Structure 1
Amino acid sequence: MSLDVDVLLQEAKENIEAAQNFRSELQQRLNGLNLARKQVRGSSGQAREALRRHFGELQAVATQLLSDRLNALLNEIDVIEADSVRPLDDCQSLVEFGMGQADELLKEGEAALRCGLGEKEDKLGSFTKKAMHIHLDSLPEVPVLADVPCVSAQLDDSLAVLLRERVFCHGSVASHPPVLIEELQERPGSILVRWGKVDEDFVAADYRLQYRRSGGGGGQYEDAYVGRDTDFLALGLEPNIDYIFRVCARGEGRTEWSPWSVAQTAYTTMEPHEWRGGTEGYVVSSRRNIALRNDSSPSGCPVLYSSAPSYFCGLTLNFKITASGQPDRRDSLGICMDSENGQRSLQQDQAVCISTNGAVYVNGKEMTNQLPPITLGSAVTFDAEVVGTALLNNDNQVGRNGDAAGLKLRVTIGSGSREVVFDWLLETAPDGLFFGCAFAHAGWKVLVF
């Protein structure tokens, strides 16, 4: 009987634990629904406010422009009216002056006719002389109506029609921005961001990626990338710090940017790639991601290694040549198992590398395939993935049964537009790999990320 009770108790405990897990999962989904509802309502409110603000600004601008245009046209009428009335006023003054002279002459002539015989001759003579001076046969010219301005306003409905057409299609509302962030992958001291279009009919001319630190002290968004690519490696990020990313696009033939995508948060747990400081012959930048081969080094081709085995299979290691010196066949860029001081080249066992002349070395042996020579601006990439194990003999070559087992990595070295792919055999499986560079002459500067 006790056995049945124990079984029931155990089942009860399992059911309680299952119910707790079930409730916890439901609570997480409920939280997700609340976040989704908050995003819909929040973005809807922001969209409404943006529309009200935008159209309010348009109304203010349109009202001001129409008012300015109306005042300009009214001023034109004022100028035409003033310029046209002025000669008419001058002509009127001349006519009124002549009429005054004629009235005085009429009064004087009537008075001369009424005077006595003794004064009549003198009065009539004086009247006749005065009449001759007035030039009673000369009349001022008055313009005909056809020659006088007749002010009018020419108006049509073309502007109203154009406004109606443009306003009708001005602005749009979408349930999703035209682009969204599809993937955020952590990298050493960086995050690889990939994005894509939601609306296939949207033709993007450029994309714009921004990011900022999360939290109250995160500051403002800053541009990380503007261009046509749909992925970007954001460098210089602190490990275990949340960063918020967003992306937008600019349509073909447009000047304005689209709405921002839904912001997404990501962080990297990997420390950034760093060069080892204190190696004679090299100067390392403050962030330790740039190394310069200086001229105070000893003779030979010393190797500068990374500060830690920070390269892991499945990732891409990038070298960028930002300054160049005289090339030498002993020069090399690559990855290796160990980082022993005093080495004079990466062209050694347990290492793969490329020389500045484009030669590729695997465990110290030169391959027949070559890559383009490395010069100023060259970008060199290393990709490695585990493809299995192999039996190795004492010469680190594939052996027969009974030989020691080793690891086989498939390595891809890229330089320019070409790649070399080969299998690299290692005696043991490393947790991580070192990277390094070696230059015989000064002037070479290498950025690693």
Structure 2
Amino acid sequence: MSVEVEALLQEAKESIEAAQNYRSELQQRLHGLNLARKQVRGSSGQARDALRRHFAELQAAAVRLLAERLSSLLAEVDAIETDSVRPLDDCQSLIEHGVGQADELLREGEAALRCGLGEKEDKLGSFTKKALHIQLDSLPEVPALVDVPCVSAQLDDSLLGVLRERVARHGLVSSHPPVLIEELQERPGGVLVRWCKVDEDFTAADYRLQYRRGGTGGAQYDDAYIGGEREFLVLHLDPHSDYLFRVCARGEGRTEWSPWSVPQTGYTTLAPHEWRPGTEGYILSSRRNMAMRSDSSSRCPVLYSNAPTYFCGQTLTFKISAAGQMDRRDSLGVCVESDGGGESLQRDQAVCISTSGAVSVNGKEMTNQLPAIGVGSAVTFDMEVVSMFPLSKIDPADGGNFKLRVTIGSGNREVVFDWLLEQAVDCLCFGCSFAHSGWKVLVF
């Protein structure tokens, strides 16, 4: 086979491979386009259903409220009519009774006038006495028309105008939710969710974050956070499991929540931080992420992590939920190896902060100091690899060939320094020690 033929054959193979890659890329884009179309049509259908359902409920509620109001007003008319007609009926009965007495008296008077002379005196005397007894000059009082109720209904025609105005402004259709999830970062046993506001005209007072396990269509979303921050660390998630996250917002002065953002899938491959069980003087929570110093024995052992689960590039946080008496041996920090010896992390191959705020590196206290630690304090450790030196270039004066840049934050202050180690490490342990009981610390 000639060189030219081999070159053409190679060129043809490369073209075929390029065409295959091109077709694969186009198919992926077509799949993405189909997903986009499905989202537009699916969300439009959901919006239509929500609008129809909402306005049908409003219509039914409005009809019910109007019927209830009409019934109430008619009942008021009935009550006024009953109360007003009752005294008139009583007056009518009294007058009709008087008319009956007058008719009877007239008949007796006419009979007395027609009787004979022998009976006339007795009949006329009896008639006169009866007439005096009836009191023909006493008439019942009949109320004037101005003194009796004249029932009317006052109806404000402006209600329809107000209703028309409110209905015209009721409801809102938007092409995008006002907030969207912009980042999902895996953390040990959790996912850090960050979101942003995409509608500049929308002023958010609160945000609401929810999540649920993926792959379970019937599962309900659970609230993870409600507040004004734009990020939240969702903990207690199972590693290597998909979770769906969504967020919405509530505008200033409003009670209703905005539409939900498009759900985003996140997961963590990192095992959760846990304290080591069985350490004397400490009680752990069921998830082993909360530790409490339970007694004040003379011995002050260090409580270490159950495994070296802290990796450079992550943020390790200690949250103090209860505090006891301070001691110079108290410490919170990270170390290369965990062992059962010592009463503090203030030792070689470890960096830590004491409850007084003093920072120690390899057992030596730094001049920089952070605020004292108390209830509600959150201490964070951030580390990044600065450099790794070959063994042949180690300077004994440097004390190590692996350098980590450490940032410890507490309150509104932080200290930054380089930590020299003898050898490279992939992950680190964490630990704490408290001389006195009452301290309770959460790690995440």
What per-residue deviation string (whole Å, max 9, x for no partner) do you get for residues 388-440 of structure 1? 3566532435xxxxxxx723322110111211111222333321222222333
* C-alpha spacing 1:141/1:271, structure 2 compared with 1 (3 Å): same
Could you tell me which of 389, 396, 399 is aligned with 2:398?
A: 396
In structure 2, do the counterparts of structure 1 residues 300 and 160 end up closer, same or farther at CA, with 3 Å as the change threshold? same
Residues 394 and 282 (structure 1), Cα distance of their counterparts in 2 relative to 1, 3 Å cut: farther
**SS of 2:36 mapped into structure 1:** helix
8 Å contact kept, 1:396–1:427: no
The 2-side partners of 1:129 and 1:306 are apart by 119
Give the aligned partner of residue 266 of structure 2. Answer: 266
Q: Which residue of 2 aligns with 1:102?
A: 102
Task: Tell me how far apart the structure 2 counterparts of residues 123 and 277 of structure 1 sit (CA, whole Å).
Answer: 123
1:429 to 421, 424, 430: 424
Matched to 1:415, the amino acid is S
Please give the per-residue CA displacement for 1:288-330, whole angstroms capped at 9, x wherever unaligned. 3233344487x54433332333222221111122333332222
SS of the residue corresponding to residue 181 of structure 1 reads: strand
Aligned to 2:25: 25
Q: Which position in structure 1 is the counterpart of 2:380?
A: 381
1:411 pairs with 2:406: yes
Query: Contact 1:204–1:250 (CA<8 Å) still a contact in 2?
Result: yes
C-alpha contact 1:245 1:263 (8 A) present in aligned 2: yes
- Structure 2 residue 232 is the aligned partner of structure 1 residue 232: yes
- Using a 3 Å threshold, how does the CA distance of structure 1 residues 153 and 11 change in structure 2: closer, same or farther? same
Alignment of structure 1 residues 142-181 onto 2, 5 Å: 142-181=142-181
Following the alignment from structure 1 to structure 2, what is the Cα–Cα distance between the partners of residues 126 and 300?
125
CA RMSD of aligned residues (A): 2.3
Any conservation in 2 of the 1:396–1:426 contact (CA below 8 Å)? Answer: no
Cα drift, residue 443 of structure 1:
3.8
The aligned counterpart of 2:311 is 312
2:369 corresponding residue in structure 1: 370
User: After superposition, what is the alpha-carbon deviation per residue over 1:35-69, rounded to whole angstroms, capped at 9, x for unaligned?
Assistant: 11111111111111112222222222211111111
User: SS where residue 182 of structure 1 aligns?
Assistant: strand
- Give 5+ residue unaligned stretches, structure 2: none
Verify the 8 A CA contact 2:296 2:436 in the aligned structure 1.
no
AA aligned opposite 2:267 = Y
Instruction: Give the partner amino acid of 2:101.
Output: Q
TM-score by length of 2: 0.92
Q: So what's the TM-score if we normalise by structure 1?
A: 0.91
Distance in 1, Cα, partners of 2:267 & 2:82: 75
Identity of aligned residues (%): 76
Mapped partners of 1:165, 1:218: distance in 2: 40
Post-superposition Cα deviations, 1:199-224, rounded to whole Å, max 9, x if no partner, equal 12222221111111112287321111
Deviation at 1:281?
4.4
The separation in 2 between residues aligned to 1:442 and 1:99, in whole angstroms, is 102
- Contact 1:212–1:218 (Cα < 8 Å) also in 2: no
> Cα offset for 1:265?
0.7
Structure 1 residues 286 and 144 mapped into 2: Cα distance closer, same or farther (>3 Å)?
closer
The amino acid of 1:445's aligned partner reads K
Query: Bigger shift: 331-340 or 53-62?
Result: 331-340
Report the 3-state secondary structure (helix = DSSP H, G, I; strand = E; otherwise coil) of the residue aligned with 1:238. coil
- Higher mean C-alpha deviation, range 376-385 or range 424-433: 424-433
1:402 aligned residue: none
Tell me the distance in 2 between the aligned counterparts of 1:218 and 1:47. Answer: 20
Deviation at 1:140, TM superposition (A): 1.9
Q: CA deviation digits over 1:237-267, x for unaligned, max 9?
A: 1110001111111211222222211111110
Shift of 1:185: 0.4
Task: Point out 4+ residue stretches in structure 1 off by more than 6 angstroms.
Answer: none
- Match of 2:74? 74
1:440 equivalent to 2:439? Answer no
**Cα 1:427/1:93, change in 2 over 3 Å:** same
* 5+ residue gaps, structure 1: 398-404
CA distance in 2, matches of 1:294, 1:131: 108
The question of whether the paired residues in 1 share the 8 Å contact of 2:388 and 2:424 is answered with no
Flag the 1:78–1:193 CA change in 2: closer, same or farther, 3 A.
same
1:346 is matched with which residue? Answer: 345
CA contact (8 A) 1:392 1:427 kept: no
Query: What's the offset of the Cα at 1:192?
Result: 0.4
Taking the aligned partners of 1:362 and 1:72, their CA distance within structure 2 comes to: 80
* Secondary structure class of the residue paired with 2:287: coil
Pairwise CA distance, 1:369? 0.5
Contact 1:320 1:447 in 2 (8 A): yes
Residue aligned with 1:9, SS: helix
Instruction: Output the CA distance in 2 between the equivalents of 1:377 and 1:162.
Output: 51
